[in-house]
Amino acid sequence: MNQASVIVPSSPLYPPTITPPEVPLPLYRFAWRFLGNPLLAIPQQVYQDRFVVLRNPGAPTIAWITAPDLTERVLQNKDNLFVKTPLEKRVFKRSIREGVLTSDGPEWRWQRRVMAPLFRHSELGGYVPAMAEAAAELTSRWRRDGARKRAIDQDMADVTFSVIARTMLAGGEPDESETIKQCGERYLSRIPWEMLWELLGLPEWLPHPAVLALNRASTQMRSAVRAIINRHRRSGVSDAQDLLGQLLNARDPETDRPMPDDLLIDNLLTLLMAGHETTAKALTWSLYLLARAPHWQNQIRDEVMQVVGNSSISYEQISQLPITERVLKEAMRLYPPAPVMARTPVREFDLEGYNIPAGSQVVIPLFCVHRHRKLWDDPDLFDPDRFLPERAADIPRAQYMPFGVGPRTCIGMSFAIMEAIVLLATFVRDAEFDWDRVHMPEPISRVTLRPKGGMPLQVLPL
């Protein structure tokens, strides 16, 4: 039954953001701020200019680039000038090591080719029932628990991990899930130390205070993934069409060798981590914005009731939920789940008159691109209608790019969008979200964009 609803727009919503330093900081203050929240070390000019170059004696040059034509040039990488940064490789050297996210050249290409079939459009529809099921399980839990304040960030991490495990591993959610989730969380929260050491030009043999914690978390995560692989092998399933089956059957096109065990672990861990953390953050921030903007919540609820009713969302219905999609897109503009991308030039290059040496950090701070003063009207305002088709047509590709651009663009983009729409639509149909009018979560970069202090929201099952 269609219900008429009266929509009362609330006052404009300017959700929490950060206050950048007015000028580039001297090295010691840069380092201090970086450890707390790397976004707080990026100067205000980066939100206003095409690019900003920072040279600190003894440390690598940093170029923050925000102009869409320049970021597109870096990310498309037509002249093979850029590779993944030593910083990213160093940060992940203990955990996902040489997998598809961190490798370059032929090593990267064949791993990406092996994974590509799992993310083809023809495969994606098949994942939707598992997504809808995981969403329904969570909303049933909410119903059982009754109205109460919940750590929504935690709930989102649990449900997205469950989706990735059910869809990528034929055996469903493994016993090792908790270890991988918790160690992953610990690993990401200690990473700024490793980043800072690299940015200061400090050698790898010089330990920093987070070395032990990083080592411990990565050893535990990797043994958990090894256990999953061993169990899969013991089960005798050799031609499984799930991710692990594909990886086990993959052959290097040049040598015909199978993927060595260490590389198998790198990639399975990459997919489990990259495939749940980011989507969890997209949903966490979306629900926060909806809790602050109840009239958007009502619009989504009406849309879902009209298109889906009380059933599970099907693949075909996903494209019929444009309001849900607009809210998600605007949430990922204001709070990009991966807030920073970076590359390193292998040769020096000229950036509009500035010489950028080989080995520099060329940083594309999505957080700043998505809130750039010269690119967006009222950039800090929550306004999902920016993504109405007639308005979105004018947005250049490299001005809004939560999934990146070019050959290294997110392999899981379509999967993630589908998943986020199915989950968000189900949650808003089945529950109401409210905030306590006190918690103003600062967005804090820990590879993914977290809400400082977590995301407590009042959940009222409907």
Name which of 65 and 338 has its Cβ closer to ligand HEM: 338
Closest to ligand HEM by CB, 25 vs 343, is 343
Residue 128 lies near ligand HEM (rule: CB under 6 A): no
Q: Per CB under 6 A, does 186 bind ligand HEM?
A: no
Q: Minimum distance between the CB of residue 304 and ligand HEM, rounded to whole angstroms?
A: 20
Query: CB-wise, 248 or 424, nearer to ligand HEM?
Result: 424
To ligand HEM, the closest distance from the beta carbon of 192 in angstroms equals: 18
Where does this chain touch ligand HEM (CB under 6 A) — which range of 50-58, 224-232, 392-400, 403-411? 403-411
Task: Indicate whether 226 belongs to the interface with ligand HEM (CB under 6 A).
Answer: no
In whole angstroms, the minimum distance from the beta carbon of 60 to ligand HEM comes to 17
How many residues bind ligand HEM (CB under 6 A)? The answer is: 24
Closest approach of Cβ 461 to ligand HEM, in Å? 25
Q: Is residue 271 near ligand HEM by the rule CB under 6 A?
A: yes
The site map against ligand HEM for 52-91 (x = CB under 6 A) is: ----------------------------------------
Site residues (CB under 6 A) for ligand HEM, limited to 411-430: 411-412, 415-416, 420
Beta carbon of residue 32, minimum distance to ligand HEM (angstroms, whole number) = 26
CB atoms within 10 A of CB 5: 12
Site for ligand HEM contains 275 (CB under 6 A): yes
- Buried b vs exposed e over 426-461: b needs ≥16 C-beta within 10 Å? bbbbbbbbbbeeeeebbbbbbbbbbbbeebbbbbeb
Closer of 156 and 356 to ligand HEM (Cβ): 156
Both tokens assigned to 354: 């500035």
Whose Cβ is closer to ligand HEM: residue 337's or residue 456's?
337
Which residue sits closest to ligand HEM, CB atoms considered? 412
Stretch that binds ligand HEM, among 4-12, 255-263, 380-388, 396-404 (CB under 6 A): 396-404
Instruction: Pick out residues in 155-174 that bind ligand HEM (CB under 6 A).
Output: 164
Binding residue for ligand HEM, selected from 112, 141, 143, 186, defined by CB under 6 A? 112
Q: Restricting to residues 311-350, name those near ligand HEM by CB under 6 A.
A: 337-338, 341
**Binding-site ranges for ligand HEM (CB under 6 A):** 100-101, 112, 164, 270-271, 274-275, 278-279, 282, 337-338, 341, 402-404, 408, 410-412, 415-416, 420
